[in-house]
Structure 1
C-alpha cells in the first residue's frame, strides 16, 4: 500500500513539474523576441579570453535585457557591416550600443543616450610621445603629413571626421596606411613595432595593455578631427517594431541605478585621467536627458 501511495505521489509531482515546465515554455514562446547582435571588438564586446563577457556593451546588453522581462532575448554574433545590413532590411535585430550620427539615423531609431565616452583618437606607445609633441594640436592629417615613415594600422569605421580624413587620403591604396583585420592583430603589431600607431578608443588601449602585458603602454591621443566626446545609444531598425522597442528601452533607461551600473562598466576600462575628463560631459548628459534623476 505504501508503494502505491509513493507511486501516486511521484506521478502527481511529475505531472505538476511537466505542467509547470510546459507553462514556462508557453510563456517564453508567447513573449515577443528581441535579437541582440554583437561583434567581437574588445573591450566593447569581449567574446573570448580571460575577460570574456566583461566588455562595456556586454554589461549594457545584460542590464537592458534584465530590465525588459516582457521580451524574450536572443543573441547573435556578427560584424559592424552586418549590423548595418540588418538595419537596412529592417530585421528585428537591435544592438546595445551605437553612435548617434545623422548618417546612421537614416536606418536606426536611437534610444536616449545612456553614457558618454571619449571619441576615437590616435593610439600609440607612450615612448613615442616625444616624437609627436611638435604636432600639437593633434590631427590625423598632421600625423599622415609629418610622419611619412610611420605606418598607420586601421581596420574598421571610426566615425565622422576621422573617416573623412581616411577617405580623402585613399586609405585602401595608401602605402602609409595598413588595413588589418582584427584589433588584436593591430595591437600585436604596435607592440612589435611593425606599425607605429592606430586609431581607436582609450578603453582599447587599457584592454590591450592588460591582455598583452605591454610594458611600453599604449596611450590615447585625442584628435581635432572629431568631437572630444560622443554619446552612446541603443539602436534598433527604423521600423514600427524598432520604434516600439526603443520606446520601451527609453523607459527602463530612466533609472539612476541602472545608468550608474552602465557607467561603472565603462570606467573599469578607462584610466583615471579619462574618468576625470568624463565628469563634466556625464553631468551635461544627465541634465539634458534625465533631469528628473538629478
Structure 2
C-alpha cells in the first residue's frame, strides 16, 4: 500500500520520510497498525504530483485530500477531517488596504481584483469552494501568483516577510504552527474571509478504479468505529485553535459521530 502524504505541518509532519504526529500522520499510523497483512510505504508529494497520480489511476491513496466535486470525478473519498475555513493571511503593512465589511471580514472579490495587492497561492491546492471559485476567475489572475511548490505552501509565509507577497490564504492553525517554529512569522495576521465561512471536509482519496474502490472500502472498514472516529477527532483537535474548537464544536461532534458508520462507494 502506497500512502501519498502531505509535507504540510501540522497536517503532515514528516521526519526522515516517516509520519510523526501531524493530523494525517496520526491517521495513517492508526490504519497501518490495523492492516498488518499489507506492506506500507510513505511517499511525501506536492499537490501537482498527488492529483496527477490519482487522476491517472495509480495505485496509491492520499491522506490529506480536500473534497471537491472536480476531484470526486476521478477519486473515491473517505471523510476524516472537518476543518475550520481558511483565512486571509496578510503582511501587517497592507492592513489598511484590505477591503473589509462591517464584520471586519475581508471581501475576497475586491481584494483579488486589486492590482495594488499581490497574492500568492499554491497551484492545484484546494482552498474551499468559495475561494476556489474566485481564484478561477480571470480577473484575479494578474494579481495572484500561483506556485507549483514542492510543498503545500509552508514557504509562502517566509516569502511574505520578505515583501514577496502581500497575502495568501491558509488555515489559522497552520500559521500558528509556522510561527511557533519561526518567530518572525508571528507578525503575519489572519483575517476571516467574507462568504468563505463553510467548514472544509477532507479525508483520504484513492483513484476511482476497481483497485481504488477496494482500498477505500478497506480503509473505511478500519476507521468506521467509535474508536476510529475518536482517533480522527483527537488527531484534528490537537492542532486546531481553541477558538475554532469552541465555535464549531457541535458541527464537529456530529461529523465524527457519522463517521462511526461505514460509508458506501459506487462502482467506478
| Fold agreement, TM-score > 0.5 | yes
Does the C-alpha gap of structure 1 residues 235 and 179 become closer, same or farther in structure 2, counting only changes over 3 Å? closer
2:86 aligns with 120
Superposed CA offset, 1:95-123 (max 9, x none):
12312222111111112x22311122212
2:146 aligns with 179
User: What is the alpha-carbon distance in structure 2 between the residues aligned to residue 134 and residue 102 of structure 1?
Assistant: 30
TM-fit CA distance, 1:291: 6.6
1:155 aligns with 122
Q: Does 1:164 align with 2:138?
A: no
User: What is the alpha-carbon distance in structure 1 between the residues aligned to residue 261 and residue 25 of structure 2?
Assistant: 27
The structure richer in helix per residue is: 1
Does the C-alpha gap of structure 1 residues 130 and 64 become closer, same or farther in structure 2, counting only changes over 3 Å? farther
User: Contact conserved, 1:121 with 1:222, CA < 8 A, in 2?
Assistant: yes
Superposed CA offset, 1:30-77 (max 9, x none):
xxxx1111232232222359xx83322122111121122232211223
Match of 1:244 among 208, 214, 237: 214
Deviates more, 1:92-101 or 1:223-232: 223-232
Task: Give the secondary-structure state (helix, strand or coil) at the position aligned to 1:114.
Answer: strand
TM-fit CA distance, 1:246: 1.2
User: Contact conserved, 2:4 with 2:42, CA < 8 A, in 1?
Assistant: yes
CA RMSD of aligned residues (A): 2.8
User: What is the alpha-carbon distance in structure 2 between the residues aligned to residue 82 and residue 159 of structure 1?
Assistant: 20
Does the C-alpha gap of structure 1 residues 232 and 280 become closer, same or farther in structure 2, counting only changes over 3 Å? same
Give the gaps of 5 or more residues in structure 2.
263-268
| TM-score, normalised relative to structure 2 | 0.81
Does the C-alpha gap of structure 1 residues 215 and 166 become closer, same or farther in structure 2, counting only changes over 3 Å? closer
Superposed CA offset, 1:158-202 (max 9, x none):
242212212214555x1x323343523311122334422111122
User: Contact conserved, 1:206 with 1:270, CA < 8 A, in 2?
Assistant: no
Task: Give the secondary-structure state (helix, strand or coil) at the position aligned to 2:89.
Answer: strand
Task: Give the secondary-structure state (helix, strand or coil) at the position aligned to 1:61.
Answer: helix
Does the C-alpha gap of structure 1 residues 255 and 127 become closer, same or farther in structure 2, counting only changes over 3 Å? farther
1:259 aligns with 229
Give the gaps of 5 or more residues in structure 1.
1-33
Listed as ranges, the matches of 1:93-108 within 5 Å are 93-108=60-75
User: What is the alpha-carbon distance in structure 2 between the residues aligned to residue 64 and residue 218 of structure 1?
Assistant: 36
Task: Give the secondary-structure state (helix, strand or coil) at the position aligned to 2:183.
Answer: coil
Dislocated runs of 4+, deviation >4 Å: 125-133
Structure with the greater alpha carbon radius of gyration: 1
User: Contact conserved, 1:208 with 1:214, CA < 8 A, in 2?
Assistant: no
TM-fit CA distance, 1:151: 2.0
Q: Does 1:141 align with 2:109?
A: yes
| TM-score, normalised relative to structure 1 | 0.74
1:27 aligns with none
1:90 aligns with 57
Does the C-alpha gap of structure 1 residues 249 and 118 become closer, same or farther in structure 2, counting only changes over 3 Å? same
TM-fit CA distance, 1:227: 4.9
